[in-house]
Amino acid sequence: MKTRIKMHKQMKWIMLIVFAFSTYGFAQFEDDEFLELKEPVVCIPDTLQTTYDQYKQTDLSETDLKMWYSYGSEYYKQKEYKAALPYLWKVFVNDTSKMGQYAIRKIADAYFQLQYSDSTLLACYRGLERYPDLTTLHYYAGILQINLGKNECAIPHYEFLVERYPNEESYLDKLGNLYSQMRDERAIEIFKRLVEINPENPMYQTQYVSVLEQFDYDPLDQLRSAFEKNPENKTITLQLAKAEMDAGNYQNAADKYTILLKSDPQHKKLLSLRAKAYEGLTNYTSAINDYKTILKTVPGDLEAMCAIATDYKFMNKFAEGQYWVKKALATNIKSGLPHIVMAEIYEASVLYSQQVENRGRKIDDGLVYERAIAEYEKASKDPAYTAYANQRIKLLEPLKPTQEELFFAQGNTTITRESYTSWIDQ
């Protein structure tokens, strides 16, 4: 890494015209037909020359250099940065040894303290041209490039800092985020190192999992290992529960949510998440119990009521489902969600009725589908559900009673089958 950063000690530390890792990039269009030319990112100022270069002398005595450095250092120490700069620049342009190195470091810091960003950047790259291993200059250049939105330009500086200080968490964290933003998979290794250096910091664990997911790696093994080492860490436990859910390991997810709920049994979000894990296990009774626990704390929680109704639907307990839909509507009559759930209950009841009666299509089925359509029509008035409701209406329209069925029913549109009349309000 260091050889890449240095290039040549006597010349151009980075003739940093960074081409954003590639000069050309694909613009993400619908059919990927077009190409977009990416402008090269210019990292160094157009010129590194300053007005102080006129002070370059060939016959300068060491006594003069020391005097200028002394004056500049004293002003710098007193935080009189503007007064210090001319003396320090005179030293830098005339001395290539240690004194010049000390001078440019103070010059960069003086400009930075004065909040002269352009001048700080110029001083950094002017100094790095001569002293490519000067940490202070890499530090300031990295910060300023990020502030300018030039992450590509900041990366080499933080790579240098990480190589110089391999266990410095702030440098690793910054480099990992830069890699991640540039979609560079080296971010994974950086955050893995951070987790190893400081396993007690939950943020590093979160970032590590995030970059694993960013590059389509399965974070489960890492999270399970982290949980074994830190079973009391709530952040890790929550992340593991989510990862188990995403992987379809619903029992493992429910177990982790149970651990988290021990310290806060009424936590609405955790109860809802565990209920969803139970639903994945088709353990609807346990899911309903969690939703009812939520309702003890938040009696008017519409989503919890509708979730209970939906779980009863899956259990083919349509009367109970209908009861909870009515409670939800009493809470918020304008919401489309209860109507969506009621429509789905009607739909599910048709398939169940046909199954338990071991029969084919009857006019009653079409009449129940009509009720489902009516619920979807009510739901469509809520903008949050308009699109879905209209889509369902279109699909169910052909399932309404046919003209032939209505003819043979002699105009009687009353639902008569016991599998429906036992719970549907006539």
Residue whose structure tokens are 């410095």 = 168
Q: What confidence score (pLDDT) does residue 332 get?
A: 93
Q: What are the pLDDT digits (tens) for 156-172?
A: 999 999 999 999 999 99
Kindly state whether residue 356 falls inside one of the protein's structural domains: yes
Kindly state whether residue 162 falls inside one of the protein's structural domains: no
CA distance 21 to 253: 40
Strand 17-18 and strand 41-42: pairing?
A: antiparallel
Position 187 pLDDT exceeds 70:
yes
Same domain, yes or no: 329 and 287: no
CA distance 3 to 5: 5
Residue whose structure tokens are 């502030």 = 147
Kindly state whether residue 211 falls inside one of the protein's structural domains: no
Same domain, yes or no: 333 and 250: no
Residue 36 phi/psi, 5° resolution?
-120, 130
Interval 214-235 mean pLDDT: 87
CA distance 6 to 86: 28
Kindly state whether residue 321 falls inside one of the protein's structural domains: yes
Position 423 pLDDT exceeds 90:
yes
Q: What are the pLDDT digits (tens) for 344-395?
A: 999 999 999 999 999 999 999 999 999 999 999 999 999 999 999 999 999 9
Which are the contacts of 368, defined by CB distance < 8 A and separation ≥ 6?
346, 349, 350, 353, 415, 420, 424
Kindly state whether residue 402 falls inside one of the protein's structural domains: yes
Same domain, yes or no: 333 and 423: yes
Same domain, yes or no: 305 and 391: yes
* Exposure of 343 in the CB half-sphere (CA atoms within 13 A): 24
Dihedral Cα 243, 245, 249, 255, nearest 10 deg:
90
Kindly state whether residue 385 falls inside one of the protein's structural domains: yes
- Of 299, 325, 355, the last residue of a domain is 299
Same domain, yes or no: 376 and 408: yes
Same domain, yes or no: 315 and 400: yes
Q: What are the pLDDT digits (tens) for 284-305?
A: 999 999 999 999 999 999 999 9
- Of 299, 319, 347, the last residue of a domain is 299
Contact status, residue 271 vs residue 293, Cβ threshold 8 Å: yes
Tokens of 395: 């699909």
Q: What confidence score (pLDDT) does residue 13 get?
A: 43
- Of 251, 281, 299, the last residue of a domain is 299
Same domain, yes or no: 312 and 227: no
Q: What are the pLDDT digits (tens) for 119-135?
A: 999 999 999 999 999 99
Same domain, yes or no: 307 and 288: no
Same domain, yes or no: 279 and 324: no
CATH assignment at residue 273: 1.25.40.10
Q: What are the pLDDT digits (tens) for 298-325?
A: 999 999 999 999 999 999 999 999 999 9
Residue 247's domain comprises: 220-299
Q: What confidence score (pLDDT) does residue 51 get?
A: 92
Q: What confidence score (pLDDT) does residue 336 get?
A: 97
Tokens of 82: 């503007």
If DSSP states are collapsed to H, E and C, what string results for the chain? CHHHHHCECCECCCCCEECCCCCEEECCCCCCCCEEECCCEECCCCCCCCHHHHHCCCCCCHHHHHHHHHHHHHHHHCCCHHHHHHHHHHHHHHCCCHHHHHHHHHHHHHHHHCCCHHHHHHHHHHHHHHCCCCHHHHHHHHHHHHHCCCHHHHHHHHHHHHHHCCCCHHHHHHHHHHHHHCCCCHHHHHHHHHHHHCCCCHHHHHHHHHHHHHCCCCCHHHHHHHHHHCCCCHHHHHHHHHHHHHCCCHHHHHHHHHHHHCCCCCCHHHHHHHHHHHHHCCCHHHHHHHHHHHHHHCCCCHHHHHHHHHHHHHCCCHHHHHHHHHHHHHHCCCCCHHHHHHHHHHHHHHHHHHHHCCCCCCHHHHHHHHHHHHHHHHHCCCCCCHHHHHHHHHHHHHHCCCHHHHHHCCCCCCCCCHHHHCCCCC
Same domain, yes or no: 251 and 313: no
Position 107 pLDDT exceeds 60:
yes
Q: What are the pLDDT digits (tens) for 9-63?
A: 333 444 443 443 333 333 333 444 444 556 778 899 989 999 999 989 888 888 9
Kindly state whether residue 78 falls inside one of the protein's structural domains: no
Q: In which band, very low, low, confident or very high, does the pLDDT at 104 lie, cut at 50, 70 and 90?
A: very high
Q: In which band, very low, low, confident or very high, does the pLDDT at 206 lie, cut at 50, 70 and 90?
A: confident
Q: In which band, very low, low, confident or very high, does the pLDDT at 396 lie, cut at 50, 70 and 90?
A: very high
Same domain, yes or no: 281 and 386: no
Q: What are the pLDDT digits (tens) for 232-267?
A: 888 889 989 998 998 899 999 999 999 999 999 999
Kindly state whether residue 49 falls inside one of the protein's structural domains: no
Same domain, yes or no: 405 and 392: yes
Q: What confidence score (pLDDT) does residue 426 get?
A: 59
Tally of domains within the chain: 2
Within 10 angstroms of residue 224's Cβ, the number of other Cβ atoms is 15
